[in-house]
Structures are given as structure tokens and as C-alpha cells.
Amino acid sequence: MRKGVVLLCSVLEVRRTALYDPLAAGVCDSSPRTHGSMTEYGSEKMAEEERNGSAEKLKEKANNYFKDKDYENAIKYYTEALELNPSNAIYYSNRSLAYLRTECYGYALGDATRALELDKNYIKGYYRRATSNMALGKFKAALKDYETVVRVRPNDKDAKMKYQECNKIVKQKAFERAIASDELKRSVVDSLDIENMTIEDDYAGPKLEDGNVTLKFMKDLMAWFKDQNKLHRKCAYQMLVQVKEVLSKLPCLVEISLKETEEITICGDTHGQYYDLLNIFELNGLPSITNPYLFNGDFVDRGSFSVEVILTLFGFKLLYPEHFHLLRGNHETDNMNQMYGFEGEVKAKYTAQMFQLFSEVFQWLPLTQCINNKVLVMHGGLFSEDGVTLDDIRKIDRNRQPPDSGPMCDLLWSDPQPQDGRSISKRGVSCQFGPDVTERFLEQNKLQYIVRSHEVKAEGYEVTHSGKCITVFSAPNYCDQMGNKGAYIHLRGSDLKPEFHQFTAVPHPDVKPMAYANSLMQMGMM
């Protein structure tokens, strides 16, 4: 097992294809594989056979945990099997699949690559590696592996569909790069004629009052969404244009002060789980001037009510701009939205043009928030290098898609680890940082602790690095199958001591997570 790795990241359970193919459906390989000459019967050979037999038992134990969706223990026993037999491609491929299910895409890619180094003809290895590269946005690399699978298995319909879909994405990306180099991209706002959009007589839903969000509008909107109705496109466009203006005036690092008696609620990822968002407001009260909130990124994707979540959050931002705060997550980005559902959902419920406007708005979301000059909040975590200051954060040009490295990338993507130092990210993006990194950053910037989100936690929150790194996650029973609690944090100005509140998932309409995701994510690719 990789030392110090937090094995259980956020779990993604994708819908399986109706055409059952063990390659497509993400089935762990159960076939034994022996090594060495069967004519050698010396003590060394007997010891090797004993080790291999023990490794096979560990693999089967891991496979059973995998079937039960206990990916943490599956990874544990695949790792033990590999310690006994490190030259078995199947073990690496199976562990790669378990890592995929826990979003540890960097580790999954490494294991799939190792499996293919051991056996270049192992087709499942190409599937796993292609899946890992797709999840990391490395579409050309994924396409190359899908080509290999199709060449070897020309009658595999699932492989052919994956190849075609991946090829389509590669061509689309090339086209986008070509048109981006023409001239400065115009805002969608410039091409909208909102004033002349007509609200039909049969529309019975909420409307802005003189073009403005009011508390009555927000209450009506939440009830309207709860009944699975759609806000009129004119109202949605009005809200997006207004919230873009509000967000664009904010700094990259938002600083707020709480008086001794004042309190703020910090929520983590909500990931399109609209009915759980309503439950937070039920438990903790609606946002108001006296009940401020901070939502720490990843509002969309995965859950299939992301439009409802984000329009509700944007509505409260417009209603209480000084007391309702939103920070950007790694899923408020085009690549993630294309793969994990938000782009597809907006196009299904509205138009491609509206998704482009959402994309513009997301780019203006602040990256960090500092409370009373003592607590720093960001979605992901700290940095790949020491020496980053709050001034450095203030200077980040955030109005763009995140780069693959650097401070902006780290703030959205990095994760804590229990051991000192830094290590390669299990996600394949940014890094993992230890308690010594946290300590140095806090000391240099005269801060007490950081609050971040980005990872599912069984209890909804986790306190690490001697209390100086807190994770909060607010999507209970993540993707309808993790069984985790959700949580939010109360911080009072008097002492800034975090007070944790847990809650469980509530029922929602029968629309599965990932219902609007890219078809590659729905064809059993993982």
C-alpha cells in the first residue's frame, strides 16, 4: 500500500451498459495467472507457488470487497496481493479499477500503465488506462488506448462506442482551440436580448420582481424547483447576468470580519444534490443578513439537480451579496462539466448558450475567503511549493479555466496527507501536502487553520494536521451510494472554534446521479 495514502476519496458509481461485457462493466478479473516453469520443483519454486497461492486468495478477498462496493478494503487486499506477487498484471488492473471508483485517477493511471508493462496484450489494462486518462482530461492519450482495444476486438460494440465518443471530444477540443486563437472571445451577454424574451402566459412559476431577486422570489423558486419545475429561461438569464456582475467585482481572496456575537455557516460540496441543499436550509435556517453562509465549491456535477442547486445559490448571492458567499471548486470548470453532467444538464433543461454563460460566471467565482484574518477557506488545499502568501493569492488571475499546475490549480485540487512533506496526487492533478506544509503556511501568513472540502468523508467532516486542516463535505450519501453523512460548520467571531453539525441524506425524485453525464461516463467505462 502506498504509505500515508488516504485511500477513500469521493466514490463515483457510474451506470452500467445494458450490454453486459466484463470489460465494459468494470468487473475485476478473477482468472488466476501463474508464473515460472512448472518443471521446477525445488524449495524456491515451492515457496514461490505458496506466495502466488496466497496472493490469489488475497485477490479473491479484494474482489469480494469490490463487489460489496467497499473499495477501501479492496485496495488494501489488492495491495497485499501485489506485495506477494508484484509481477501480476491482473492485480494492478483490478486495483486500478478500485482507484477509479474512488476518483484516485492518478493512482489508477499508474496501475494500469504498470499492468501493460507486465503484459502488453492485457486488454483490460488498455480500458483502465483510457478511463484514467479520460477522467484526467487527457483525451488524446485515452483515444490511443481505445484505438488499441478496437483493433484487437473489432466486434466489441462497447469499445467501438467509447472510441467514437472519445474521438468526437478530441476533434471538438481541437476546434475550440482553433477558434479561441482568432480574436478575443465575446461574452455571451453581448449576444443576449433578454428584454425581448417573452414569458408565456401559461408559465405559472416564479418571476423576478422588477428584474430583482426578492426573498419571496427565492422561497417560491425553491418550492417550484422542489416540485421538479423549471425556472423560465428569461429569469435564469437575468440572474446569471446579474450574478456575473456581482462576482466580477470581488477580489480573488475575499476577506470578511465576524463580530464576537456573529456566526457564519460553512458548507462543503453539494454536487447537484438539491434536496439535501433544501435540508440544510431546513436544519440551519434560510440565508439572511443575520444567518450568513459560505458554500465552498463543487455546487454542480454528479447529482442530477445541479441547475436547481446553482440557481438557488446564485439567487441568494444576489439577495444577500455581503452575507452569502460562494467559492470556486474544481467542478466549476469546463472539463469537469463536460464529463460529469452539468453541461449535459444545462443543455437538456435550457440551451448550449446558457451553459456558455454559466462557464463565464464560474470563472469569476473567488478562490479563497479569509475570516477575521485567522481562518482561510479554499476548496482544495495548499500549494505544491512553500512560500505562497496571501498577497500571492490576491494576485491570481482567476478569470479563466484553471491551469494544470500552479497556485490556482492547487487551491482547487490539492489534498492533505497524514505524513510530512508532499507527494504525487492520488487524483493525478496538483499534490498532497503534509502537516508540516500546513504549519509553515499558517505561520508565514499568521493564520490559525484552514478549512477545505473536495473529499467525501464518512462523518461529513474530518479534522487533521493537529486541528489545523479541516475538511467539510455537505453531500450526504454521495452519488446515492456512499452512505456518508453530510456536515456543515458554525464559526463564531468570539473564538473561531469550529462547531460541526452532521445530517443524513433525504429522499429525492427518481433521477439517478450522472443522468446527464458524458456518454463515456454512462457506458460502464469504470
Which SS3 state, helix, strand or coil, does residue 193 take? coil
| Contacting residues for 449 by C-beta, under 8 A, at least 6 apart | 375, 442, 467, 468, 469, 470
Of 466, 469, 474, nearest in space to 502 by CA? 474
What is the distance between the alpha carbons of residues 311 and 205, in angstroms, rounded to a whole number? 14
331 tagged catalytic: yes
What is the distance between the alpha carbons of residues 429 and 412, in angstroms, rounded to a whole number? 10
What is the distance between the alpha carbons of residues 449 and 228, in angstroms, rounded to a whole number? 40
Set of cell numbers at residue 283 = 436544519
CB 315 within 8 A of CB 213: yes
Set of cell numbers at residue 164 = 467514437
In order of 181, 302, 328, 474, the CA distances from 334 in angstroms are 18, 14, 13, 22
Set of cell numbers at residue 458 = 464518512
3-state secondary structure 470-517: EEEECCCCHHHCCCCCEEEEEEECCCCCCEEEEECCCCCCCCCCCCCC
Which SS3 state, helix, strand or coil, does residue 264 take? strand
In order of 209, 471, 479, 499, the CA distances from 487 in angstroms are 34, 10, 16, 10
Provide the strand spans (E) within 338-416.
Answer: 368-371, 375-378, 415-416
Q: Where are the alpha helices (DSSP H) in 36-156?
A: 43-67, 71-84, 89-101, 105-118, 123-135, 139-152
Rounded (10°) angle between helices 233-248 and 352-362: 20
What is the distance between the alpha carbons of residues 332 and 515, in angstroms, rounded to a whole number? 18
Point out the catalytic residue in the list 331, 379, 465, 508.
331
What is the distance between the alpha carbons of residues 170 and 54, in angstroms, rounded to a whole number? 44
R_g of the chain, CA atoms, integer Å: 24
3-state secondary structure 435-480: HHHHHHHHHHHCCCEEEECCCCCCCCEEEECCCCEEEEECCCCHHH
What is the distance between the alpha carbons of residues 377 and 373, in angstroms, rounded to a whole number? 11
In order of 7, 164, 474, 504, the CA distances from 478 in angstroms are 16, 30, 9, 10
Phi, psi of 488 (to 5 degrees): -140, 165
- Phi/psi class of residue 206: alpha, beta or left (left: φ > 0; alpha: ψ in -120 to 50)? beta
Residues with catalytic annotation?
A: 331
